[in-house]
């Protein structure tokens, strides 16, 4: 069937096709951007955080000093007291921890070859590999001497650490053609002594590549305002163990805590659910909006195709009488439907690009990748063909004698 014949046929009654074109264009524009936003929100939810047995990992957090921050020696003493609590297998001091956004430290690192700056989360603490249950895939863990380092907060900004461990994702980004272990971290004098498989940032980014850009630095930070502890439990009885650890904290530093602040003792699984609650809610919202838009569009296409079949009952019967097969009628209806939906999809792709530019300007959204354009258009074309199947089969069942009676 010639394309110009299809277009000319639609122009005889242009209102219905124009409405469907507008509907498909709007659906395509919304779907492309919604799928992009949906993918961004899903990334931190689906990413591997590297934490093993999260049900037995507890974080003590929201510990704030009323006056001057505690020195490192006080933190070592508090760590020893917490280690003596029944049910505790291992305790690690930490200045920053995954899924706790109240204390963050980021470091910009330039790649070795392209000199491109990337941002990575830095986790300060001792024995974090064992406490968090991270999988070491290359190099070695920190030595006891490195773990016993006292880090000066005043020089932490210079990034001069003796040894660091990085994630595989960051290693692949910084050294795409070489081995990370044994090299120096770019822009610093820190030697990379090991690589862990996975470790998510404590401020999950929407960039899937940067979700696992993380650096581990051994030691206890001197005069850190909000110290934390990662506690690996021997059993899953977190409630009683938390109560005992909170009693130890109150006995040791209770009189020095900031009034009104409630110390948190939460499992990693709980903190992860709280941190990812907003992205998960956005996923449900975007999924619901996209589904409603697609259902409305499918309903419009179904109504338009059914209207065509009803208006052409006589002409279809004549074609059948002249020898047209059922498959010919179905093919004709589907081709006409594809033309209208395709025109709407083309307009929708332009609208999707414009909407993305507006979102970038007003909400700092990332640029919509080109791969989403064919995905959105193909999705609308496939759904349009599925919506037209029922009317097309109904049209193919029209018999010549029925068309004759309708004259």
Can you tell me the distance from the alpha carbon of 79 to that of 213, in angstroms, rounded to the nearest whole number?
28
Triad 147, 65, 239: Cα angle to 5°: 75
pLDDT tens digits for range 81-94: 999 999 999 999 99
Triad 101, 102, 107: Cα angle to 5°: 65
Residue 194 β-bridge partners: 139, 165
104 and 249 co-located in one domain: yes
Residue 55 lies in a domain: no
Q: What is the pTM of this model?
A: 0.83
78 and 225 co-located in one domain: yes
153 and 182 co-located in one domain: yes
- Region of residue 52 (phi > 0: left; psi between -120 and 50: alpha; otherwise: beta): beta
Residue 254 lies in a domain: yes
Of 228, 262, 296, the position where a domain reaches its end is 262
Cβ-contact 211, 41 below 8 angstroms: no
pLDDT band with cut points at 50, 70 and 90 for residue 12: low
DSSP assignments along 63-86, one per residue: --BSSSPPPHHHHHHHHHHHHTST
91 and 211 co-located in one domain: yes
pLDDT band with cut points at 50, 70 and 90 for residue 15: confident
Triad 21, 27, 29: Cα angle to 5°: 100
Residue 88 lies in a domain: yes
Residue 100 lies in a domain: yes
Can you tell me the distance from the alpha carbon of 278 to that of 199, in angstroms, rounded to the nearest whole number?
20
pLDDT of residue 132: 95
pLDDT of residue 405: 61
75 and 180 co-located in one domain: yes
Mean pLDDT of 159-167: 87
207 and 293 co-located in one domain: no
Can you tell me the distance from the alpha carbon of 381 to that of 148, in angstroms, rounded to the nearest whole number?
62
pLDDT band with cut points at 50, 70 and 90 for residue 377: very high
Residue 110 lies in a domain: yes
Provide the strand spans (E) within 341-402: none
How many other C-beta atoms lie within 10 A of the C-beta of residue 385? 16
28 and 94 co-located in one domain: no
Residue 318 lies in a domain: yes
Locus of tokens 């507006």: 358
41 and 172 co-located in one domain: no
Residue 196 β-bridge partners: 136, 167
For residue 117, the enclosing domain spans 63-262
Mean pLDDT of 115-139: 91
88 and 143 co-located in one domain: yes
Residue 97 lies in a domain: yes
Of 233, 262, 291, the position where a domain reaches its end is 262
Residue 29 lies in a domain: yes
Domain tally for the chain?
Answer: 2
375 and 298 co-located in one domain: yes
Most confident of the ranges 155-164, 324-333, 350-359: 350-359
Can you tell me the distance from the alpha carbon of 293 to that of 196, in angstroms, rounded to the nearest whole number?
43
CA distances to 242, 255, 306 from 393, in Å = 66, 80, 11
Mean pLDDT of 16-21: 84
Can you tell me the distance from the alpha carbon of 99 to that of 113, in angstroms, rounded to the nearest whole number?
31
Q: Is the pLDDT reported for residue 229 higher than 90? A: yes
Please state whether beta strands 150-152 and 163-167 pair in parallel, antiparallel, or not at all (unpaired).
unpaired
71 and 158 co-located in one domain: yes
Of 230, 262, 294, the position where a domain reaches its end is 262
pLDDT tens digits for range 239-256: 999 999 999 999 988 888
Locus of tokens 């760590």: 79
105 and 37 co-located in one domain: no
How many C-alpha atoms does 202 have within 13 Å on its Cβ side? 21
């Amino acid at each position: 069937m010639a394309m110009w014949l299809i277009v000319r046929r639609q122009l005889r009654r242009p209102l219905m096709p124009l409405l469907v074109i507008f509907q498909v264009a709007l659906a395509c524009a919304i779907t492309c951007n919604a799928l992009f936003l949906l993918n961004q929100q899903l990334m931190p939810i689906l990413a591997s955080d590297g934490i093993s047995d999260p049900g037995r990992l507890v974080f003590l957090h929201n510990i704030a000093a009323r006056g001057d921050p505690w020195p490192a020696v006080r933190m070592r003493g508090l760590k020893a007291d917490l280690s003596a609590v029944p049910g505790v297998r291992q305790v690690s001091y930490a200045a920053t921890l995954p899924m706790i956004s109240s204390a963050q430290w980021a470091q910009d690192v330039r790649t070795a070859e392209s000199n491109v700056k990337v941002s990575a989360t830095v986790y300060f603490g001792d024995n974090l590999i064992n406490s968090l249950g991270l999988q070491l895939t290359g190099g070695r863990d920190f030595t006891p001497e490195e773990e016993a380092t006292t880090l000066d907060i005043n020089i932490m900004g210079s990034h001069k650490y003796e040894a660091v461990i990085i994630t595989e994702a960051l290693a692949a980004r910084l050294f795409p053609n070489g081995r990370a272990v044994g090299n120096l971290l770019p822009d610093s004098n820190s030697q990379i002594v090991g690589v862990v498989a996975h470790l998510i940032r404590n401020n999950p980014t929407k960039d899937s590549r940067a979700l696992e850009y993380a650096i581990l630095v051994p030691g206890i930070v001197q005069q850190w305002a909000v110290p934390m502890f990662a506690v690996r439990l021997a059993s899953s009885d977190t409630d009683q163990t938390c109560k005992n650890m909170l009693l130890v904290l109150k006995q040791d530093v209770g009189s020095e805590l900031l009034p009104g602040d409630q110390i948190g003792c939460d499992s990693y699984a709980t903190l992860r659910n709280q941190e990812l609650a907003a992205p998960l809610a956005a996923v449900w919202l975007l999924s619901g909006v996209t589904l409603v838009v697609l259902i409305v569009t499918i309903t419009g296409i179904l109504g338009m195709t059914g209207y065509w079949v009803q208006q052409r009952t006589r002409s279809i019967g004549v074609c059948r009488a002249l020898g047209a097969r059922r498959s010919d009628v179905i093919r004709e209806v589907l081709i006409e439907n594809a033309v209208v939906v395709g025109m709407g999809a083309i307009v929708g792709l332009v609208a999707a690009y414009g909407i993305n530019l507006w979102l970038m300007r007003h909400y700092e959204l990332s640029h919509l990748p080109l791969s989403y354009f064919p995905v959105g258009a193909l999705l609308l074309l496939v759904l349009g063909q599925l919506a037209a199947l029922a009317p097309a089969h109904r049209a193919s069942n029209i018999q010549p004698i029925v068309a004759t009676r309708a004259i």
